[in-house]
Structure 1
Amino acid sequence: MNHSDIEGDDSFDKSPHVETDSGVEATSRPLASDDAAMTAKLLKPIPDYPVLGESVNRWSIANWNHLNQDKLHGPRFTCAGIEWNVLLFPRGTQNSGVVSIYLEPVPPADSDDDWYVCAQFALALANPRHPEVYLANPSHHRFTKSETDWGFSSLIDSRALTTPQPRYGSETIPLLDTEGTNGIDIIAYVRVFDDTATGVLWHNLMDYDSKQATGYIGLNNQGATCYLNSLLQSYFTTSIFRKLVYQIPTDGQGGVPRALQRMFYMMTTSPSPISTMELTKSFGWDSSDAFMQHDIQELNRILMDKLETAMKGSSIEGELNSIFVGKMKSYIKCINVPYESSRIEDFWDIQLNVEGLPNLESSFKNYVEIEMLEGENKYQANEEYGYQDAKKGVVFEQFPPVLHLQLKRFKYDFVVDDLVKIDDFYEFPDTIDLAPYIDEESPNKNENWTYKLHGVLVHQGSISNGHYYAMIKPNADGGWLKFDDDKVTKATTHQVFDENFGAPEPTPQQMARMSRAESQEYYIKRVTSAYMLVYYREQDLPTILPAASEVTIPEEIPAQIDAELKAREQAEQLRQEEMYYMPVRYITSNQMAAHTGFDLALDETNPKLYDQRLAGTAADPITVKTRKDAELSQCVKTVAADLQNPDNQFRLVPMMHRCNHTNRADRPFEDGMLSWSVAKVYNHVYIKKYDHMVVFVEEAAKELHNVAETAPEAWQSPEKFSWEQPLKLIESASDADAELVDIQENGTHKLIFIKYFDPISQEVRGITHATVLRDDTIQSLIPEVNAILGFDPSTELVAYEELSPSKIEPLDVEASFSKLDLDNGDIVTFEPANAPTVATGPYKSARDYYTFMFTRMHIMVSPWNGDEDSDVEPFDLWISTLDTYAQVAAQVAAQLEAQGEKVDPKYLRLYVRLPSAQGSQVYTLRSSHVLSQVFSRQMPVNSTLAFEYEVLPVPLVDYENLRRLEVVWVSNFSHSQPLEVLASRSATVGEIVNEKVIPQLNNGEPVDISNLLVWVGNDNRFSEFLKPSSSLESIQEGADTIYMGIFPVEVYCLAANDMYKRFAPTDSELVKPTEASGDGEVDAVNAELEVAEKHINQVNILPLYHFQKSLNYRHGIPFIFPIYPDETFADIKARLQSRLGMGQQAFSKVKVALTEGTRGSYLEDDDAVVYDQLKKIAETHDASIALDHPDRSTRKPNVFDRGITIK
Structure 2
Amino acid sequence: METEDSEAVSVLDRLPHLPDEAFAAKHIPDLGHGMKESQVFHLGLQGWKKLKKKVTSSEFDCGGRKWRILLFPFGNPNTPSSGVVSIYLESADAEEMEEGWHVCAQFALVISNPQDPTIYTVNHAHHRFIAEECTWGFSRFGELHELFRPQPGRNRPTIEGDSAVVSVYMRVLEDPTGVMWHTFVNYDSKKQTGYVGLKSQGATGYMNSLLQSLFHVHCFRKAVYQIPTDDEDPIGNISLALQRVFYQLQTSDKPVGTNELTRSFGWTSYESFLQHDVREFNRLLQDKLESKMKGTHAEDAIAKLFVGEIKTLIECINVSYGSTRIERFNDIQLNVKGIQTLYDSFWDYVAVEKLEGGNRYRAEGFGLQDARKRIIFQSLPPVLHLRLQRCEYDVRRGGMIKINDRFEFPFEINLDEFLDETADRSKPWKYNLHGVLVHSGDFRGGDYFAFIKPDRDTLWHKFDNDRVMPVTDREVLEESYGGVPLDGVMVRETKGSTNAYMLVYIRETAINEVLAPLTEKDTPPHLGLLTVKVVTDETFSLHQGFDLAIFDKRNGSLSHLPTFRVLRKETYGVFKSRVAQHFGYPESQIGLWVLVNRMNRTVRPYTHIPENESSLTVEMIPDMTPRLSDLWLYLEILPDSSKKILLDNTRTVMVFLKHFDATRQSLFGIGMVHIPRASKVSDLVQIINERMGWTPGMPLKLYEEVEPGMIVFMEPRYTFTRSKIQDGDIICFQVEISGKEVHDLKSQGSYSNPPQFYEFLRNRVIEPDKRNESPVEPGNPHEDQNVASGD
Q: TM-score of the superposition, structure 1-length normalised?
A: 0.46
- Distance in 1, matches of 2:404 and 2:489, equals 19
Partner residue of 2:90 out of 96, 99, 104: 104
Tell me the equivalent position of 1:201.
Answer: 180
Determine whether 1:83 maps to 2:66.
Answer: yes
Whether the 8 Å contact between 2:704 and 2:731 is mirrored in structure 1 is no
- Distance in 2, matches of 1:142 and 1:214, equals 19
- Distance in 1, matches of 2:764 and 2:23, equals 78
Alignment partner of 2:522: what SS? Answer: coil
Shift in CA distance, 293/183, structure 1 to aligned 2, threshold 3 Å: farther
Distance apart, 1:96 and its partner CA: 2.7
Q: Which runs of 5+ in 1 are unaligned?
A: 1-30, 512-522, 593-597, 604-619, 640-649, 663-682, 697-750, 754-799, 809-827, 830-845, 858-937, 947-1207
- Distance in 2, matches of 1:467 and 1:633, equals 55
Q: Which amino acid aligns with 1:600?
A: R
Partner residue of 2:245 out of 263, 282, 285: 263
Shift in CA distance, 508/124, structure 1 to aligned 2, threshold 3 Å: farther
- Distance in 1, matches of 2:505 and 2:243, equals 24
Tell me the equivalent position of 1:53.
Answer: 37
Partner residue of 2:381 out of 400, 405, 421: 400
Partner residue of 1:548 out of 513, 518, 537: 518
Q: Give a deviation string over 1:583-609, Cα, whole Å, max 9, x none.
A: 99898xxx97xxxxx553323xxxxxx
Q: Give a deviation string over 1:46-82, Cα, whole Å, max 9, x none.
A: 55x5422111122333454x24322222343222232
Distance apart, 1:374 and its partner CA: 4.9
Structure 2 counterparts to residues 664-1063 of structure 1, below 5 A: 801-803=740-742, 808=743, 828=744, 847=747, 849-850=749-750, 941-943=761-763
Alignment partner of 1:428: what SS? Answer: coil
Q: Which amino acid aligns with 2:209?
A: S
- Distance in 2, matches of 1:460 and 1:337, equals 50
Tell me the equivalent position of 2:780.
Answer: none
- Distance in 2, matches of 1:941 and 1:276, equals 33
Q: Give a deviation string over 1:762-795, Cα, whole Å, max 9, x none.
A: xxxxxxxxxxxxxxxxxxxxxxxxxxxxxxxxxx
Distance apart, 1:32 and its partner CA: 6.8
Distance apart, 1:284 and its partner CA: 3.4
Q: Give a deviation string over 1:882-907, Cα, whole Å, max 9, x none.
A: xxxxxxxxxxxxxxxxxxxxxxxxxx
Tell me the equivalent position of 2:470.
Answer: 490
- Distance in 2, matches of 1:855 and 1:634, equals 23
Shift in CA distance, 132/575, structure 1 to aligned 2, threshold 3 Å: farther
- Distance in 1, matches of 2:147 and 2:162, equals 10
Alignment partner of 1:478: what SS? Answer: coil
Tell me the equivalent position of 1:220.
Answer: 199
- Distance in 2, matches of 1:356 and 1:338, equals 36
Structure 2 counterparts to residues 544-623 of structure 1, below 5 A: 544-549=514-519, 552-560=522-530, 563=565, 569=592, 571=594, 572=608, 574=634, 577=637, 598-603=662-667, 620=668, 623=670
Tell me the equivalent position of 1:237.
Answer: 216
Q: Give a deviation string over 1:1023-1073, Cα, whole Å, max 9, x none.
A: xxxxxxxxxxxxxxxxxxxxxxxxxxxxxxxxxxxxxxxxxxxxxxxxxxx
Q: Give a deviation string over 1:525-562, Cα, whole Å, max 9, x none.
A: x3432221111112222321122217722222222357
Shift in CA distance, 409/138, structure 1 to aligned 2, threshold 3 Å: farther
- Distance in 1, matches of 2:116 and 2:385, equals 59
Whether the 8 Å contact between 1:117 and 1:142 is mirrored in structure 2 is yes
Q: Which amino acid aligns with 2:190?
A: K
Tell me the equivalent position of 2:615.
Answer: none
Partner residue of 1:472 out of 427, 448, 452: 452
Determine whether 1:115 maps to 2:95.
Answer: no
- Distance in 2, matches of 1:552 and 1:532, equals 29
The answer to which structure, 1 or 2, has the higher relative contact order (CA under 8 A, 6+ apart) is 2
Whether the 8 Å contact between 1:479 and 1:491 is mirrored in structure 2 is yes
Q: Give a deviation string over 1:229-274, Cα, whole Å, max 9, x none.
A: 2221111111111112222234142322222111111111111222
Shift in CA distance, 455/628, structure 1 to aligned 2, threshold 3 Å: closer
Q: TM-score of the superposition, structure 2-length normalised?
A: 0.68
Tell me the equivalent position of 2:23.
Answer: 38
Distance apart, 1:454 and its partner CA: 0.6
- Distance in 1, matches of 2:490 and 2:158, equals 32
Whether the 8 Å contact between 1:107 and 1:145 is mirrored in structure 2 is no
Structure 2 counterparts to residues 21-32 of structure 1, below 5 A: none
Whether the 8 Å contact between 1:243 and 1:551 is mirrored in structure 2 is no
Q: Give a deviation string over 1:357-379, Cα, whole Å, max 9, x none.
A: 11100011111111123578653
Distance apart, 1:412 and its partner CA: 3.5
Whether the 8 Å contact between 1:125 and 1:175 is mirrored in structure 2 is no
Partner residue of 2:348 out of 363, 366, 372: 366
Partner residue of 2:509 out of 539, 547, 556: 539
Q: Give a deviation string over 1:910-962, Cα, whole Å, max 9, x none.
A: xxxxxxxxxxxxxxxxxxxxxxxxxxxx956424799xxxxxxxxxxxxxxxx
- Distance in 2, matches of 1:310 and 1:319, equals 11
- Distance in 2, matches of 1:752 and 1:431, equals 82
Q: Give a deviation string over 1:854-908, Cα, whole Å, max 9, x none.
A: 9999xxxxxxxxxxxxxxxxxxxxxxxxxxxxxxxxxxxxxxxxxxxxxxxxxxx
- Distance in 1, matches of 2:156 and 2:522, equals 72
- Distance in 2, matches of 1:429 and 1:141, equals 31
Q: Which amino acid aligns with 2:467?
A: K
Tell me the equivalent position of 1:459.
Answer: 439
Q: Which amino acid aligns with 1:76?
A: E
- Distance in 2, matches of 1:354 and 1:421, equals 11
Whether the 8 Å contact between 2:59 and 2:92 is mirrored in structure 1 is no
Structure 2 counterparts to residues 341-380 of structure 1, below 5 A: 341-374=323-356, 378-380=360-362
Alignment partner of 1:505: what SS? Answer: strand
Shift in CA distance, 173/455, structure 1 to aligned 2, threshold 3 Å: farther
Whether the 8 Å contact between 1:655 and 1:695 is mirrored in structure 2 is no
- Distance in 2, matches of 1:199 and 1:322, equals 37
The structure number with the bigger radius of gyration is 1
How much identity, in percent, do the aligned residues show?
A: 37
Q: Which amino acid aligns with 2:243?
A: Q
- Distance in 2, matches of 1:323 and 1:508, equals 42
Distance apart, 1:84 and its partner CA: 1.4
Q: Which stretch shows the higher mean deviation, 545-554 or 402-411?
A: 545-554
Provide the alpha-carbon RMSD of the alignment: 4.4
- Distance in 2, matches of 1:42 and 1:510, equals 29
- Distance in 1, matches of 2:188 and 2:196, equals 8
Alignment partner of 2:281: what SS? Answer: helix
Shift in CA distance, 175/261, structure 1 to aligned 2, threshold 3 Å: farther
Shift in CA distance, 652/134, structure 1 to aligned 2, threshold 3 Å: same
Q: Which runs of 5+ in 2 are unaligned?
A: 1-15, 533-564, 569-574, 580-590, 595-607, 610-633, 646-653, 677-684, 706-718, 767-791
Shift in CA distance, 292/163, structure 1 to aligned 2, threshold 3 Å: farther
- Distance in 1, matches of 2:691 and 2:636, equals 23
Partner residue of 2:259 out of 262, 269, 277: 277
Q: Which amino acid aligns with 2:322?
A: E
Tell me the equivalent position of 2:312.
Answer: 330
Shift in CA distance, 314/218, structure 1 to aligned 2, threshold 3 Å: same
- Distance in 2, matches of 1:400 and 1:558, equals 33
Shift in CA distance, 191/244, structure 1 to aligned 2, threshold 3 Å: same
- Distance in 2, matches of 1:532 and 1:149, equals 42
Distance apart, 1:394 and its partner CA: 2.0
Tell me the equivalent position of 1:880.
Answer: none
Whether the 8 Å contact between 2:665 and 2:750 is mirrored in structure 1 is no
